[in-house]
Amino acid sequence: MRAVLKRVTHLVLVLWLVSLATFLLLELVPGDPATAVLGTSGTPDQYAQVRAQLGLDLPLHERYLSWLGGALQGDFGESLTPPHQDVSAALAARLPVTFQIAACGLLLALVISVPTAVWAAHRQGRIFDRWSSSGVFAVMSLPTFLIGIFLIQGFVFHPQAMQTAALLVAVGVATGAGWTAQRRAARGDSPWSLVLVAVLASVLVLLLIVAWPTFPRQGFSRLGADGGLAENLRHIALPVLTVALGELALFTRVLRSEMIQTLDTGFVEAARARGLPTHRILLGEALRPASFSLVTVAGLSLGSLMGGTLIVEVLFNLPGMGRLLVEAIESNDYVTVQAGVLVLAAIYVLLNAAVDLLYRILDPRIRHAEQ
Amino acid sequence: MQSSEATEARQPARSGAARSRAGRGRLEWRTLRLWLAFAWLVVIIGVAVLADVLPFAEARNPGKTLYEPALATPDLASGHPLGTDRHGLDLLGGLAYGARVSLTVGIGATALGCLIGMLIGLTAGFVRGRLDAVVGLLTDSMLAFPPLILLIGAVAVMRPSVLVVTCSLALLTVPSYVRLARAHTLTLVPREFVLQARALGATSSRIVFKELLPNVVWPMLSYSIVVVAAMIVSEASLSYLGLSVQRPNPTWGNMIAAGQDSFQQYPHLVLVPAVAMFLTVLSINAVGEAVRSRELRNAR
Amino acid sequence: MKRSRTLAAAALSTLLTVAACGGGGQSATPEGEAPTGGEACTAELAGGKITMGVGQATQTLDPVTQNSGGNGGSERAALYDTLMTYDPGTNTYAPHLAESLASNEDATEWTLKLRAGITFPTGNPLTADVVRQSLERHSADASTSNIVNILEFVEELEVVDELTLKFHLSEPYGTLPFLLAGSGGEITNPEVVKQLGDKFGQQATPAMGLGPYDLERFAPGEEVVLKAKKDYWGGPVCIDEIRFVYITGGQPTYEALKLGEVQMAYLTDARAVDLAKRDGVAGYSSNSFAGAAVLMNNGVRGGKPATIDPKVREAITLAVDPEVMNKRRWDGLGAASTSLVYPPESPLASDVSGPKPDPERAKELVAEAKAGGWNGKLNLVCPNDPSNQEAAIALKALLYSVGIDVEASNVATADLIKAVIVDADYDLACWGVGAQPASPYLAFSGFHSESTSNYSGFANPEMDEAIDALQAAQSSEQQREAIGAIQTVWNAAFPAVVYGSPESYIAVDDSLRGTIQTSWGTVLFHKAFVK
């Protein structure tokens, strides 16, 4: 109980420091919200008047305290620059966009990296491992904005080329899997997992031929809008892929090395000795203990992505948190920036705490160590 | 970003049994790859250092290129082997000066962050108590602060320059170095040689600098190689957003940003700096990987 | 992040609707507007949705605001309608919400008659008093409207009867109809204004105005969604929903049109305009006269910048070669010229052309100024959109080549406004003049010594006289003559450096018919339909 209390105090202190730091930082940034209010048509007197109206001529600590007082009651106030709207409303409109991009990107990264890492660990040193490791290494060396630029070039401007490439890959996978399945069957092993892969790849090929969506260059369609889920997915596909490619290198590397370690441990050897099939050993026995670090890494990634999708938002012109904050900084709207940073920091620390908790619950090693 | 790297750095790499399974041909390819990486790094560092001496066409002052061909496509036989941009500035020269910025920021920010973070982490880990709690609170707050907001704010307060970008990026790496150094220190403090030094009546500062520091430095340095690569990417991202060194002074990021809208007609504007950056980051990562696996082998 | 185009151009654009009404005692006849290609919405053609791509995210939908076509102009016109409409093809005005508008001989008294029987969705009718209230919001103390300058001439708004409003002006103003075809003619619903106060135009509220559409969703920086009104006074509205989405960058905007993401695209980037025209995409073209320009600080509010020296100003003017600017800013595809009005086919283009670039002479002048103790250094502040970044680099290069050392910075819009207007702390600033044929006066009035929008401190009696003549000018001929006089003074006194009149192009997809172009950058949708 005392530990929990200590933890909560710590979180509150962290958030308070963050809000103080934001306030001081913005105080140093030169600029004047009044210019954003009046635009080009104001006279110098009008600017002074607007500054007074916005309360900008009050002393520093008074402004901070009045902001803090409001924030403690859950009232973030109204943005200083037009459009004058409740900051809470502005954040509520932007946060889901960023969250969707970050969460979907993370999910896609996991969907790609978990099987890749598991299989690479299983076939360590063999051709799949070498190729996937090199690929991961290459992706790791590309900054997000370049990945985005290249994806846009490919998917938006040369869709046929991408379609053909995807088709070739799918056909290649299907034939490869089919061929290996045949060889396995001849050896008397079970070919079904590979047959499944071949069938899936063939279905993918068919899907690609029938329906290849046109991806928009930029923009966003909300889930509640008329287009519904389909439009939404079409708009977020490329941003999500960009985020996923940025994250998956780390995930794959972490899981692969943990997995290799786990595969060397006694209980996996024992499972092998019992004659369990490969997929049971990999997924049933080894994956769970090997995935604790991945849980940590993925949780931390989500936390930092919530405040770090700015480049993707700029590239694809998405109405997310990053752009809201940057525009607010540009027009010196400290009320919006304060609230935004506080919310992002809160999400970050809460996710961190959650990951920590999860880790403690899941990992028997830590549980045992503490007992 | 930093925190996840720190996590990765804590990951143990492949085990010995796994290593022996790797084929012979693989090892040769690894060696070759490492040498290629070294070669590229030597070239890029050389070019960055000697950019002023090497006979590049004008790459920084558009006032001197009013009569140069603008948007020339790469042509190895011409005076502009990698082409020119909108203002007639030479892209090869731009690469060299861009490398200078990238490497200065990458190495400078890492060194600065490492130094500050290590000293704080060491002290906190050694002294413990209230100081440790305060340091923990501060590092947690810094990690919770959205890094881009900090960078944008810093650049808005002081005009963007190599120094400002280096310092702000260094600031961002400090918390993970603090944590890493503190964690290492905590494992060292109960060790025999420290206890011995204490028993012999060594002062605290002597223990920190003579006994602990040399043992903490090495793991920090090997982690730093990856951080340099990450810092180069961060600098490029800032440049891309217009928050680092301003054009016409070339950086890889601002060259890409300036060319991205005409990717269709003039792909070289993006591809030239993109390839240079990719190869550099890849090479540094390869070296970092090699150093780390060697270290692990030694540790065993 | 990337706010496009020169500020003044953006700010002034909507106001400056084109005026070329006949001589004195002009009047516009109530014949209604001519829909494009003779096609117009009928009840059978109803249905469909369209999306328009705009380059600037509007921050408010209140007409009392910064206003331009690419920045909320078409949205607002669809919400409020305008008293008058303008036809750039014939250079004439037509009444829309109004019945007629007529002036006395010297354009000091204008009489506006309103259509009878028009009511707001809340039931209150459109009356002369409602128009008066709507206009008075523009001239209120805290107003940020940029027609304030013109409303200063309005001594009295006299409500003659229920449907007649008389404008008594203190000075002759020849192009009042343009005011009523732009934001001044967008009549706000007094009941909703009273109810919302400061928040009017910043949240989706029904019945804001008399236009064919109601505001469905307003997400700043993302989209504006309009829904058709069932009971529009002007007959059935065909298109059910119009979305205005904000797209960054000229070429992405055009690409969105080609990919079918939008049916209409507001293009201001020379390369995108060129692509659209070469692809044969239909659209509405217009030039922002002297919209690419550099303001030189002439010592506004007692400052003593080096640019006070006429030699320095002349040197800068002669150094800036529009062809080089064109190549480096617009890949050679822009409308580059030092003349105040370009292209020469424009009815307002006078015989007097702008100063000819002469780098040799510029070098001499710089040398002379340096001999007089000047250190040869200047600062230049420009917006931070990609096009203006290229412009800043090119300007720096051109000035470097004549011996001037320029420190250039690209800043956010708010910071540019702060540097130029609030602090008056700059030597050179990327600040377009951005005049429109309708009332070039408004843009050029910024160089009148007594104007409140004179941000450079330029003062020259001959210039004042020429600008006064432009203010009173009513016909195209009179305006052309006045602009010729301004250009003559300009070529000798160098108030600012002009290097182009950027073209904007509203590209329209083939499936979208019946749209009507009115003042610059604003499109009317009440007759539009989807084919």
Q: What is the pLDDT of residues C284-339, one digit of tens each?
A: 988 999 999 999 999 888 888 999 999 999 999 999 999 999 999 999 999 999 99
Domain enclosing residue B103, as ranges: 57-299
Model confidence at C522: pLDDT above 50: yes
The H-or-E segment that residue C320 falls in is: none
Q: What is the ipTM of this complex?
A: 0.88
Residue of A nearest to C431 (CA): A40
| β-pair partners for C406 | C378
Per-residue pLDDT of chain A (371 residues; tens, 9 = 90+): 777 888 889 999 999 999 999 998 888 887 777 877 776 666 777 778 888 878 788 888 888 888 888 888 888 888 887 777 889 989 999 999 999 999 999 999 999 999 999 989 988 888 889 889 899 989 989 999 999 999 999 998 888 888 888 888 888 888 888 888 888 788 777 777 777 877 888 887 788 777 788 888 888 888 877 778 988 999 999 999 999 999 999 999 999 988 988 888 888 888 888 888 877 888 878 888 888 888 888 888 888 888 778 999 999 999 999 999 988 888 888 889 999 999 999 999 999 888 888 877 776 665 555 44
Q: Is A361 domain-assigned? A: yes
Give the number of other CB atoms < 10 A from CB of residue B183.
16
Judged by a CB distance cut-off of 8 A, whether residue A117 touches chain B is no
Q: For chain C, what is the domain count?
A: 2
Q: Note if the bond before C30 is cis, omega within 30 degrees.
A: no
Residue C518 is predicted with a pLDDT of 87
> Is the domain of C241 the same as that of C114?
yes
Q: Is B49 domain-assigned? A: no
> Is the domain of A108 the same as that of A69?
no
Q: Is residue C493 classed exposed, middle or buried when 0-12, 13-18 and 19+ CB atoms within 10 A define those classes?
A: middle
Domain enclosing residue C311, as ranges: 292-501
- Interface contact C389-B63, CB threshold 8 A: no
Model confidence at C21: pLDDT above 50: no
Q: Is A108 domain-assigned? A: yes
Q: For chain B, what is the domain count?
A: 1
Model confidence at B19: pLDDT above 60: no
Model confidence at C17: pLDDT above 50: no
Model confidence at C4: pLDDT above 70: no
Q: What is the pLDDT of residues C354-390, one digit of tens each?
A: 999 999 999 999 999 999 999 999 999 999 888 999 9
Q: Is B17 domain-assigned? A: no
B127's CB contacts (< 8 A; 6+ apart) are: B204
Q: Is C304 domain-assigned? A: yes
Q: Is C391 domain-assigned? A: yes
Q: Note if the bond before B175 is cis, omega within 30 degrees.
A: no
Model confidence at C3: pLDDT above 50: no
> Is the domain of A187 the same as that of A62?
no
Smallest CA–CA distance, residue B59 to chain C, in Å, is: 13
- Interface contact C249-B261, CB threshold 8 A: yes
Q: What is the pLDDT of residues B79-96, one digit of tens each?
A: 899 999 999 999 999 999
> Is the domain of A224 the same as that of A153?
yes
Q: Is C4 domain-assigned? A: no
> Is the domain of C450 the same as that of C518?
no
Task: List chain A residues with CB under 8 Å of B281.
Answer: 141-143
Q: Which of A38, A90, A93 is nearest residue C144 as measured by Cβ atoms? A: A38
Cα-based distances in Å from A81 to A324, B54, C202, C362: 12, 51, 11, 43
> Is the domain of A42 the same as that of A180?
no
Rounded CA gap, C474 and C317, in Å? 31
- Interface contact A218-C248, CB threshold 8 A: yes
Q: Is C201 domain-assigned? A: yes
Smallest CA–CA distance, residue B279 to chain A, in Å, is: 8
Q: Which of residues 56-115 of C touch A (CB under 8 A)?
A: 59-60, 65-66
Using an 8 Å Cβ cutoff, are C170 and C155 in contact? yes
- Interface contact C1-B241, CB threshold 8 A: yes
- Interface contact C384-B242, CB threshold 8 A: yes
| β-pair partners for C405 | C377
Model confidence at B202: pLDDT above 90: no
Per-residue three-class SS string for B199-219: HCCCCHHHHHHHHHHHHHHHH
Q: Is C75 domain-assigned? A: yes
Model confidence at B262: pLDDT above 90: no
Helices in chain A by DSSP H: which ranges?
2-28, 33-38, 44-53, 60-72, 87-122, 127-140, 144-151, 159-187, 192-210, 228-263, 266-273, 278-279, 287-290, 292-306, 310-316, 321-330, 334-362, 364-370
- Interface contact A84-C415, CB threshold 8 A: no
Written as six digits, the tokens of A319 are: 């109405």
Q: Output the average pLDDT for chain B.
A: 87
Q: Which of residues 33-92 of C touch B (CB under 8 A)?
A: none
Task: List chain A residues with CB under 8 Å of B144.
Answer: 14-15, 18, 345, 348-349
DSSP at C188: B
Terminal Cα distance for chain B, rounded:
29
| β-pair partners for C112 | C101, C165
Q: Is C6 domain-assigned? A: no
Task: List chain B residues with CB under 8 Å of C366.
Answer: none
Q: Is residue C461 classed exposed, middle or buried when 0-12, 13-18 and 19+ CB atoms within 10 A define those classes?
A: exposed
Buried b (16+ CB within 10 A) or exposed e, A275-303: eeeeeebbeebbbebbbbbbebbbbbbbb
> Is the domain of C149 the same as that of C238?
yes
Q: Is residue C63 classed exposed, middle or buried when 0-12, 13-18 and 19+ CB atoms within 10 A define those classes?
A: buried
Q: Is residue C198 classed exposed, middle or buried when 0-12, 13-18 and 19+ CB atoms within 10 A define those classes?
A: exposed
Q: What is the pLDDT of residues C418-463, one digit of tens each?
A: 899 888 899 999 999 988 877 788 889 999 998 888 999 999 999 9
Residue A365 is predicted with a pLDDT of 60
* Helices B252-259 + B91-127 axis angle, to 10: 130
Q: Cα–chain-centroid distance for residue A80? A: 30
Residue C346 is predicted with a pLDDT of 87
> Is the domain of C365 the same as that of C235?
no
| β-pair partners for C296 | C428
The H-or-E segment that residue C505 falls in is: strand C503-508
> Is the domain of A186 the same as that of A67?
no
Residue C520 is predicted with a pLDDT of 66
- Residue recorded with tokens 């204490």: B198
Q: Is C264 domain-assigned? A: no
> Is the domain of C331 the same as that of C365?
yes
Q: How many CB pairs under 8 A join B and C?
A: 57
Query: What's the CATH code of the domain at C464?
Result: 3.10.105.10
Smallest CA–CA distance, residue C367 to chain A, in Å, is: 36
Cα-based distances in Å from B112 to A33, B168, B227, B237, B245: 35, 10, 12, 20, 19
> Is the domain of C303 the same as that of C386?
yes
CA dihedral of residues C145, C151, C156, C161 (deg, nearest 10): -70
Using an 8 Å Cβ cutoff, are C483 and C443 in contact? no
- Interface contact A144-B237, CB threshold 8 A: yes
> Is the domain of A216 the same as that of A246?
yes
Using an 8 Å Cβ cutoff, are B254 and B70 in contact? no
Residue B20 is predicted with a pLDDT of 45
Domain enclosing residue A43, as ranges: 31-73
Indicate the pTM of the whole model.
0.89
Model confidence at B101: pLDDT above 50: yes
Residue A41 is predicted with a pLDDT of 65
Written as six digits, the tokens of B155 are: 């650049």
* Helices A60-72 + A2-28 axis angle, to 10: 140
Nearest to C475 by CA among C108, C107, C20: C20
Q: For chain A, what is the domain count?
A: 2
Q: Residue range B251-257: average pLDDT?
A: 95
Residue B115 is predicted with a pLDDT of 95
Cα-based distances in Å from C353 to A324, C119, C485: 45, 50, 11
> Is the domain of A118 the same as that of A200?
yes
Residue C68 is predicted with a pLDDT of 55
- Interface contact A156-C65, CB threshold 8 A: no
Q: Is C340 domain-assigned? A: yes
The residue type found at A87 is V
Written as six digits, the tokens of A174 are: 């299907």
- Interface contact C221-A38, CB threshold 8 A: no
The secondary structure of A339-354 as a DSSP string is HHHHHHHHHHHHHHHH
Reported confidence tier of residue B300, pLDDT bands at 50, 70, 90: low
Q: Is B2 domain-assigned? A: no
Using an 8 Å Cβ cutoff, are A312 and A239 in contact? yes
Q: Which of B21, B140, B148 is nearest residue A125 as measured by Cβ atoms? A: B21
Angle formed at CA C276 by CA C272 and CA C279, multiple of 5 degrees: 135
C454's CB contacts (< 8 A; 6+ apart) are: C300, C446, C447, C448
Residue of A nearest to B285 (CA): A141
> Is the domain of A53 the same as that of A165?
no
Q: What is the pLDDT of residues B108-150, one digit of tens each?
A: 999 999 999 999 999 999 988 899 999 999 999 999 998 888 8
Q: Is B128 domain-assigned? A: yes
- Interface contact C252-A84, CB threshold 8 A: no
- Residue recorded with tokens 């401007």: A157
Do strands C377-383 and C405-411 pair parallel, antiparallel, or not at all (unpaired)?
parallel
Do strands C428-430 and C292-296 pair parallel, antiparallel, or not at all (unpaired)?
antiparallel
Query: What's the CATH code of the domain at C51?
Result: 3.40.190.10
Q: Which of residues 196-215 of B touch C (CB under 8 A)?
A: none
Q: Is residue A131 classed exposed, middle or buried when 0-12, 13-18 and 19+ CB atoms within 10 A define those classes?
A: exposed
Q: Which of C331, C393, C401 is nearest residue B248 as measured by Cβ atoms? A: C393
> Is the domain of A174 the same as that of A67?
no
Buried b (16+ CB within 10 A) or exposed e, B143-176: bbbbbbbbbbbbbbeeebebebbbbbbbbbbbbb
Q: Is residue A267 classed exposed, middle or buried when 0-12, 13-18 and 19+ CB atoms within 10 A define those classes?
A: exposed
Query: What's the CATH code of the domain at B108?
Result: 1.10.3720.10
Phi, psi for C29 (deg, rounded to 5): -90, 145
> Is the domain of A36 the same as that of A140?
no
Task: List chain C residues with CB under 8 Å of A332.
Answer: 414
Residue A40 is predicted with a pLDDT of 66
CA dihedral of residues B100, B101, B107, B110 (deg, nearest 10): 180
> Is the domain of C104 the same as that of C211?
yes
SS3 label, residue A181: helix
Residue of A nearest to B24 (CA): A125
Q: Residue range C37-61: average pLDDT?
A: 85
- Interface contact A317-C65, CB threshold 8 A: no
Smallest CA–CA distance, residue A34 to chain C, in Å, is: 9
Residue that is last in its domain, among A12, A41, A73: A73
Using an 8 Å Cβ cutoff, are A87 and C204 in contact? no
Cα-based distances in Å from A35 to A353, B172, B243, C107, C453: 41, 32, 22, 35, 15
Nearest to C193 by CA among C146, C137, C232: C137
Using an 8 Å Cβ cutoff, are A201 and A173 in contact? yes
Using an 8 Å Cβ cutoff, are C500 and C341 in contact? no
Q: Cα–chain-centroid distance for residue A132? A: 22
